[in-house]
Structure 1
Amino acid sequence: MNRLTLTLCSALLLAGCGKPAEAPEPVRPVLSLVVEPQSQANLGRFAGSIQARYESTLGFRVGGRIARRWVDVGSSVKPGDVLASLDPTDQRNQLRAAEGDLAKVQAQWINAQANARRQQQLFDRGVGAQAQLDIAQTDLKTTGASLEQARAAVEQARDQLGYSELKADHAAVVTNWQAEAGQTVSAGQAVVTLARPDIKEAVIDLPTSLAEQVSGELKFLAASQLDSSISTTATLRELEPQADAATRTRRARLTLADTPLAFHLGTAISVTLTSAVSPRVELPASALLESEAKTRVWIVDPQQKTVSTREVKLLERTANSVVLASGVQAGERVVTAGVNSLKPGQKVIVDEEDPQ
C-alpha cells in the first residue's frame, strides 16, 4: 500500500514539472476613429469683416470753415439729410451782392424799355430820327442781356449758399469722418464716407502665395466669429492685383450668397477656403505604422473586436496628420494610438466615447 502511494506521488511530481499552458493575449483598449473620406481640401481660415460693396466719399462743393457736424459715425441717413454745414457768411454776402446787381440791372432795363417806346412813338409821328430809335433798341437788347446775366448770377449765388450744407444723396451709413468742426476745407476735399447698407460683402486678406492659386473652383464659407452657426457661402468678386507692401497680402472681396441679419457692417467673420479634390482620408499621424519600407494602419474588425494591418498609400503628411489616397474605406474603424504595441488578431476594446 505504501509502495502504491509512493508511485502515485512520483507521477504527480513528474506531471507538475511539465511546460505550463500559454496565457491568452490580453485584451487592450484602443483609441480609434471611423474613416470619413473628404472631397474638400481645407486651404485655410482667414479673419475678415463685412463691408458695404458701394462706398462714396463726399466733400463740400465750396470752400469754407465747417461750422457743425450733424451726424456721427454709425448713423443711418436718408437722401437729403444734412451731414455737415459750413459757416455761410461768405456765401450769404455773395448772394446779397448778386441780388443788388440784379436790382440795378432791372432798373436799367425798365429805363431802356421806356426810352425805346418813346423813340418808337416819336419816329412813328415823324418827329424822331431813325438813328435815335436804333440806339434805344440796341440799349434795350444790351440791358436785357445784362438782366439775364444778373439773374444767373443770383441763381449761382443761391446754389453756392446751398452748397454750404453737405447732404446725403442716398440712404447710407456714415462710416468715417475726415474733417472736424472748426476745420477749414477746400472745395472737393474729402469730408465724410458713406456706405450703402443694402449690398454687403465679405472682405479678407489672402497671402500672396495662396492668392495666386485662387480660381472659380474654390469655395468660401463665411461665418460670424461670435456665432459660427451664422454662416453663408460666398464667391470671389474681386482680387486686388498687387500685394500690400507691408503685409504682403492681397485683398479679396467676396459676394455673399445670402446676407444673414446678424451680418451688420463691420461684423467680424472667419472665412474658410476649400477646394474640391479627389476623395481622400485624413488621419492623425499617430495612426501610421511604418516598418519594412511599408506604410500600414490597424483596422478594427467590428464583429470579432480584433485588429489587423493593412497597407495604405500615403498622399501627404504633416507633423500632426497624414492624408491617405487609398487603402481604407468609408465606415472602417482605424486605431489612432499605440499602433506599435499591437499584434495581428489581438482582441481590443474600442473607446466607448468614440463616435460610431
Structure 2
Amino acid sequence: MKRLLLVLGAVLLAACSKKEPPPEPIRPVLSIKVQALDEQNLGRFAGSIQARYESNIGFRVPGRIASRNVDVGAEVEKGALLATLDPTDQQNQLRSAQGDLARVQAQLINAQANARRQQELFDRGVGAQAQLDIAQTDLKTTQASLDQARAAVDQAKDQLDYVQLRTDHKAIVTAWNAEAGQVVTAGQQVVTLAQPDIKEAVIDLPDTLVDQLPADVVFQVAAELDPRITTTAIVREIEPQAQSATRTRRARLSLTDTPPGLRLGTAIGVTLSSAIKPRVELPVSVLQEVDGKLRIWVVDPQTHTVSPRDVSLISRTDSIVVLTDSVKSGERVVSAGVNSLKPGQKVKIDEDSPQ
C-alpha cells in the first residue's frame, strides 16, 4: 500500500511539472503601406504660355517715330494704328510729285494744241509732214510723261500712308523694340504681335533628357500662381541643337485644351511623366535575403500576422528598391527588423508607421 501511494505521488508530481509553453510574444514592427506606381516622373520644368504664331513688323519707309499708340499687352483689332512716323519727308515728296504732274498736264495741253494745229495746216496743204510728225511725237512723249507723273503721285501717296503702322490681323502686342523719337530704317523690327487664337507651352529641356524622352511622354501643365488650372500637352517641336550656354533645347508643346486662366505670358510648371508597367518603390530595409532569394514580410490585416513573400527586383540604390507588381497597392509590409520574424508570427503595427 505504501508503495502504491509512492507511485501515485510520483505520477501526480510529474503531471504537475508539465506546464503549457508560454505564448509567443507579439512583436512590435515598423511597416509601410504599398503604393504601386504606373507612371514615371521625368522631372518638372518652368515655362510660359506663348502664341504659336508671332510676327515682327516694322515701317515700310524710314523716318523718325512720332508716336506710339498702344502699349505691350494691348489687344488690337485688324487695321488698328500702332505707331506713326514724322510724315514731313513723305508730304514733301507728295507735293513735289503733284507739282510735276501739274507741269506735265500743262505740257500735254500745249502738245495737244500744237498737234491739232499742225494737222489742220497739213490738211489744208500749207503744213509740212515733218512738222506734223514732230508735233505728234511730242504729244505721245508728253502723254507718257503724264502717265509717269501720275504713277509718281500714287507712289508718293503710298509712301505717306506707310508712315502709319497698322495691324493686318487681330493680335496682342507682346514687345516694342523702338521708342518715340527713335529713327528707324525701312523694314526694321519695331513691334511684335502675337495671334491669341492658338496658344502653346514653351519650356527648356536639358539636352540629355530630350534624347531619352519616350514617344508616349505626357506633359502635365499647371499655372504657377494657381495650380488648379491644369491641362495636358504633347510635343509639337523641339529645337534640333542645344543652346551653348545652358545646354538646353527649347520645346514647344501643343495644349490639349486652353483653360481661360492660361493667358499669354502665364508662368507655368510642366511635369513630365511616362506610363510604365506597375512597380513598387520601398525602402531597402524591407528586403530579406534567404538562400539567394529576396523576400519581404507582408502583414495580414485581419490576423495581424506576417508571412514571407518572394519578390523580383527591378533596381536598387543605397536607400530604395524598386520591385515588380508581386506586391499590390494597399498591402502593408514590414519595413524594419525583417531578419527576426517567423512565418505566422503576430505583430503589432507601430503607431508611427505610415498609413
TM-score, structure 1 as length reference? 0.87
Deviations 1:287-342 (A, max 9, x none): 44457654332211122122223232221234553321243134433344565675
Distance 1:116 1:59, change over 3 A: same
* Partner Cα distance (1:319, 1:171) in 2: 58
1:327-342 equivalence runs, <5 A:
327-336=326-335, 339=338
**Contact (CA 8 Å) 1:223, 1:269: kept in 2 or not?**
yes
**Contact (CA 8 Å) 1:287, 1:334: kept in 2 or not?**
yes
1:83-94 equivalence runs, <5 A:
83-94=82-93
Deviations 1:20-56 (A, max 9, x none): 96464235364421443x3322211211111100011
**Structure 2 unaligned spans of 5+:** 1-13
Tell me which residue corresponds to 2:190.
191
Letter in 2 for 1:207: P
Distance 1:32 1:215, change over 3 A: closer
**Contact (CA 8 Å) 1:35, 1:334: kept in 2 or not?**
no
**Contact (CA 8 Å) 1:200, 1:265: kept in 2 or not?**
yes
* Partner Cα distance (1:222, 1:335) in 2: 37
**Contact (CA 8 Å) 1:50, 1:268: kept in 2 or not?**
yes
**Contact (CA 8 Å) 1:204, 1:251: kept in 2 or not?**
yes
Distance 1:93 1:215, change over 3 A: farther
The structural deviation recorded for 1:71 is 0.8
CA RMSD between the two structures: 2.7
* Partner Cα distance (2:214, 2:142) in 1: 69
1:1-356 equivalence runs, <5 A:
22=22, 24-26=24-26, 28=28, 30-36=30-36, 38-289=37-288, 294-318=293-317, 321-336=320-335, 339=338, 344=343, 345-349=345-349
Partner of 2:143, secondary structure, is: helix
**Contact (CA 8 Å) 1:33, 1:336: kept in 2 or not?**
no
**Contact (CA 8 Å) 1:52, 1:197: kept in 2 or not?**
yes
* Partner Cα distance (2:259, 2:194) in 1: 18
The structural deviation recorded for 1:143 is 0.6
328-337 or 132-141, larger mean C-alpha shift: 328-337
Aligned positions, number = 341
Deviations 1:139-170 (A, max 9, x none): 11111111111111111111111111111111
Partner of 1:216, secondary structure, is: coil
User: Percent identity of the aligned residues?
Assistant: 63
* Partner Cα distance (1:135, 1:46) in 2: 82
* Partner Cα distance (1:72, 1:319) in 2: 56
339-348 or 258-267, larger mean C-alpha shift: 339-348
Deviations 1:251-275 (A, max 9, x none): 1111111111111011111212222
Distance 1:50 1:83, change over 3 A: same
The structural deviation recorded for 1:132 is 1.4
Letter in 1 for 2:281: E
Distance 1:278 1:63, change over 3 A: same
Deviations 1:229-283 (A, max 9, x none): 3222211111100001111011111111111111101111121222232222223
